[in-house]
Chains A and B, each alone.
Chain A
Amino acid sequence: MIQFENVTATYADDVGIFDLSFHIEKGEMVFLMGPTGAGKSTVLKTIYKDILLNDGSLYIDGQDITYMRTRKIPYYRRKIGMIFQDFRLIGDRSVFENVALPLHILGLPNKEIKLKVNGILEKVGLENVKKMIPSQLSGGEQQRVSIARALVKNPVVILADEPTGNLDPNVSDEILDLLELATNNGTSVLMSTHNFPLIRPRKKRYIELNDGRLVQK
């Protein structure tokens, strides 16, 4: 599902990721480990095309995305679900509207959107707060909204950038449960974290980075 072949992607100040090769199977959940500045976010950015590759090849769902025209990037991103540490919810819209947003971008009819959003909110346990705005929710709830927003469009890949970074251990565990649930539908999940004690009990594969280079996969 995700295939990195000798990928190098650097920023102007010459930091980034170097000669990275790994792959993630369909429906697999993999953790991206490493200290701050190891290049975890850069790996995710190369997948959602926020940074260009200097070298190597990258395949997602069988599609070569090494080079992609700028105008095609939005359409490509619709196949990917993204979850961030700061949730990135739109503050003046309700939970329902936030989760519905990717479906409006896809141009789905209202009836279908309502059905899908209600379904996913029930799955993540947020059906009772769907009319609230993000600031009325706890951090854990906000992250669940963010997960619902990523899951609602049935993405082929979910990229989660430190999704538990701002949450307490119990809530973090719930978030991981939800992400694991997504893999049942064949969605691959790549989650970056530096919290090893959190992921250890899960017995999942992890890729370890340091200074932008692969330490262990």
Chain B
Amino acid sequence: MISKLRYLLFESVRALFRARVPAIISSITIAITLVVFSSAYFFYENMVGFTNKFTAQFNIEVFFDSDLSEKISVQLFNDILLIRGIEQGEFIDKEKAASLFKRYFKDDINNIIGDNPLPMGGNFDISISHRSPRMMSKITREIRRMDGIDEAAFQHDVVSRVDRIIDNLLGFSLVVGIAILLISIILVSNTIRLIIHAKQHSIETLHLLGATNSFIRFPFIMEGIFQGLIGSTMALLFLSLLYSLQAYLIESLVRIQLVIPDMMIAGNLVVGILLGLTGSYRGISKYLK
């Protein structure tokens, strides 16, 4: 059993060198697939990151009843922080409200009416999962139902419009990503299938000599895995080059810091191996009775 396994492993490595050209074609197909898919994934992840940064500006403004004491207002502020979907908040006391008024209207409220009638309140940031018009409306309603609340509101129109744009962009990216993945699987498995087709004669001979399906399949599967590894290494090298280039071009021109997703290296290796493996498995299965 061990000598058989050793032979099969040895054969798998030798098969790569014996059929160098087909192995290179397969690896390049896998590499191209991974570069396209990784680029799509790279831009998708950066787009998600960018939209998250943008939507971080979504907040709910709350005004407390003007007759509430500061102590009760702070208590109310803390109660709001406990609501699901509220990420953090800033308490706005009378002085802060007056300074905000001054910033917007360029005048001191105390000078205009001789007093500060502005109510205390708070600005509340929303967690990523709740940054949609529906969820923000729900939170706003929940805040309004609390005792001591005069008004709670957010910029519904702006949030709705941005949310719609983001949804469309992400949906489009997802559809494109899935399409690329499906095309990739078909492309890689057809390339490997063509290569295996050329070895049909050898497969038939092995059958006649008494080889089991697993004996025949094993070297092809291993070959597929090796091709996947080579393909993903090629893709990673090309992607690192591409990243350096985009860092130079995009980041210096538009001043957007693009980030490489954490899963890029591991993901490429895993997807590359899986593509090689499924391609070989599908390809060889056609010729095994």
Contact = CB atoms under 8 A, between A and B. Distances in A.
Interface of A: 48, 70-71, 74-78, 80, 82, 88-92, 101-102, 104-110, 149
A156 B207 CA distance: 18
Contacts of A101: 206, 209
Contacts, number: 52
B208 interface: yes
A104 B4 contact: yes
A108 B209 contact: no
A105 B202 contact: no
B208 A88 contact: yes
Contact of B211 (A80, A105, A149): A105
Contacts of B208: 48, 77, 82, 88
Given A77-B209, A107-B4, 16 more contacts: A74-B210, A74-B212, A74-B215, A76-B210, A77-B207, A77-B208, A82-B208, A88-B204, A90-B205, A92-B18, A92-B19, A101-B209, A102-B209, A102-B210, A107-B1, A108-B3
Contact of A70 (B201, B202, B289): B289
Nearest to B6: A110
A88 B205 contact: yes
B7 interface: yes
Contacts of B207: 74, 77
Q: SS class of chain B's interface: helix, strand, loop or mixed? A: helix
B210 A77 contact: yes
A76 B211 CA distance: 10
Contact of A75 (B201, B202, B210, B289): B210
A152 to B, nearest CB: 11
Given A88-B205, A92-B18, A104 B7 contact: yes
A107 B5 CA distance: 9
22 contacts: A48-B208, A71-B212, A74-B212, A74-B213, A74-B215, A77-B207, A77-B208, A77-B209, A78-B210, A82-B208, A88-B201, A88-B204, A88-B205, A88-B208, A90-B205, A101-B209, A102-B210, A104-B4, A104-B7, A106-B210, A107-B1, A149-B209
A88 B200 CA distance: 12
A91 B18 CA distance: 11
A105 B205 contact: no
A175 B289 CA distance: 32
A82 B4 CA distance: 22
Interface string B185-214: 000000000000000011011111111110
A110 B209 CA distance: 18
Task: Give me the 3 closest cross-chain CB pairs, A-B, nearest first.
Answer: A78-B210, A77-B210, A107-B4
Contacts of A88: 201, 204-205, 208
A90 B206 CA distance: 9
A104 to B, nearest CB: 5
Contact of A74 (B7, B201, B202, B211): B211
A91 B211 CA distance: 18
A7 B1 CA distance: 37
Contacts of B206: 101, 105
B246 to A, nearest CB: 43
A133 B107 CA distance: 96
A90 B4 contact: no
Interface in B1-16: 1, 3-4, 7
A190 B56 CA distance: 83
Nearest to A48: B208
Contacts of B1: 107
A125 B215 CA distance: 30
A86 to B, nearest CB: 9
Nearest to B207: A74
A71 B207 CA distance: 12
Contacts of A108: 3
